């Protein structure tokens, strides 16, 4: 594909404008996204920054045209791009690529997913990831990055959504609960069991996924005797790493899950009992800063959750008096 962009161009303000114009032409060209897909698949776009720029063109197509105009052949072309990337991931060729490129490709996977699932591709997760999880840790890592990108697309409440997008996302979450959440949750359990001792990065990503998805899936899928010990085990690592911090956030996300006050209190009591039993709160004035910070964050979360429970309980009591 013509138009290969050197990294030095990206640091030149004058040339940056030309790059922008070039990308805009590709976005407007009906064949622009196809050329970008081909450039990545056939290897002509080898540099990470070139792939990233081509992915921006593909992202534009996915957001604006893929749902309404794509033919079966075009859908297959997009899936060929995804297969090519996963082959590179499995072979180890992606491990040295920058995180920004991995995250951009995860976004591309997520954009295909939110259009194709469930109507055009109900078996997305099994076909793309779950049947290939044993291939390599790199596949597991990219799977988790894709899950984070999907959650951002369908469940991030901080992003403004149109009515059409809101309805689409609600339908996707409902379909996921029915068709694949159980399989996804089981995969997270396996990942934590297999990687919590060997890879802080993979464990941390998995905990981030759990902490994100817990807001809209059944809390009992996670707050149980299988998951909680694994999460707390990551929380109590002797040395701080990505999994330690992610585990703290994950516990807080579980505690902050929306539910009736009485149910929330039961959850808090069970979680506190387990944390105490595991020694999470066993800190002294001689404990290191990371341990103190972790406990402080957990105590703050617990206090906030308990205050919220109390306030809701008072309101429910008042409403019962007023309306009975």
Note the pLDDT tens digit of each residue in 48-73. Answer: 988 999 999 999 999 999 999 889 99
Among positive and negative, which fits the CA dihedral 250, 255, 256, 260?
Answer: positive
The pLDDT of residue 1 is: 47
Q: Give the confidence band of 136 by pLDDT, cuts at 50, 70, 90.
A: confident
288 assigned to some structural domain = no
57 assigned to some structural domain = yes
Structure-block tokens of residue 185: 């949750």
211 assigned to some structural domain = no
The pLDDT of residue 8 is: 54
Among positive and negative, which fits the CA dihedral 296, 299, 304, 307?
Answer: negative
221 assigned to some structural domain = no
Rounded to 10 degrees, what is the CA torsion of 83, 138, 132, 215? -100
The stretch 127-142 carries a mean pLDDT of 90
Query: Does position 115 have pLDDT exceeding 50, yes or no?
Result: yes
56 assigned to some structural domain = yes
Rounded-to-integer distance, Cα 33 and Cα 24, Å:
11
Best CA proximity match to 181, nearest among 125, 121, 265, 247:
125
Domain that holds residue 52: 1-64
* Total tally of structural domains belonging to the chain: 1
79 assigned to some structural domain = no
173 assigned to some structural domain = no
Residue 83 burial (10 A CB sphere; 0-12, 13-18, 19+): middle
Per-chain mean pLDDT for the chain:
91
Among positive and negative, which fits the CA dihedral 195, 198, 199, 200?
Answer: positive
Would you call 82 helix, strand, or coil by DSSP?
helix
Structure-block tokens of residue 9: 């161009």
pLDDT tens digits, 77-100:
999 999 999 999 999 888 889 999
Rounded-to-integer distance, Cα 165 and Cα 94, Å:
32
Whole-prediction pTM? 0.91
4 assigned to some structural domain = yes
The pLDDT of residue 219 is: 97
């Amino acid at each position: 594909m013509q138009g290969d962009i050197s990294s030095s161009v990206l640091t030149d303000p004058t040339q940056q404008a030309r790059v922008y114009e070039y990308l805009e032409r590709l976005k407007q060209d009906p064949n622009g996204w196809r050329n970008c897909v081909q450039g990545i698949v056939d290897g002509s776009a080898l540099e990470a920054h070139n792939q990233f720029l081509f992915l921006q063109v593909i992202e534009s197509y996915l957001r604006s045209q893929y749902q309404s105009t794509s033919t079966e052949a075009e859908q297959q072309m997009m899936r060929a791009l995804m297969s090519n990337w996963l082959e590179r991931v499995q072979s180890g060729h992606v491990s040295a690529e920058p995180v920004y490129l991995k995250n951009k490709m995860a976004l591309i996977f997520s954009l295909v997913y939110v259009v194709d699932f469930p109507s055009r591709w109900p078996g997305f997760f099994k076909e793309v990831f779950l049947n290939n999880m044993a291939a390599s840790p790199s596949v597991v890592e990219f799977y988790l990055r894709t899950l984070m990108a999907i959650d951002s697309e369908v469940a991030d409440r901080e992003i403004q959504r149109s009515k059409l997008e809101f309805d689409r996302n609600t339908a996707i979450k409902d379909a996921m609960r029915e068709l694949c959440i159980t399989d996804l949750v089981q995969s997270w359990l396996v990942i934590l069991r297999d990687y919590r001792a060997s890879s802080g990065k993979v464990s941390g990503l998995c905990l981030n996924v759990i902490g994100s998805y817990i807001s809209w899936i059944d809390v009992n899928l996670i707050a149980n005797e299988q998951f909680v010990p694994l999460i707390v085990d990551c929380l109590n690592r002797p040395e701080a790493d990505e999994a330690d911090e992610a585990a703290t956030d994950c516990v807080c996300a579980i505690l902050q899950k929306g539910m009736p006050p009485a149910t929330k209190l039961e959850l808090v009591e069970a979680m506190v009992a387990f944390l105490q039993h595991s020694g999470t709160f066993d800190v002294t004035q001689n404990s290191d800063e990371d341990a103190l910070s972790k406990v402080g964050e957990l105590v703050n979360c617990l206090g906030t959750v308990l205050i919220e429970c109390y306030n809701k309980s008072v309101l429910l009591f008042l409403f019962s008096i007023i309306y009975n």
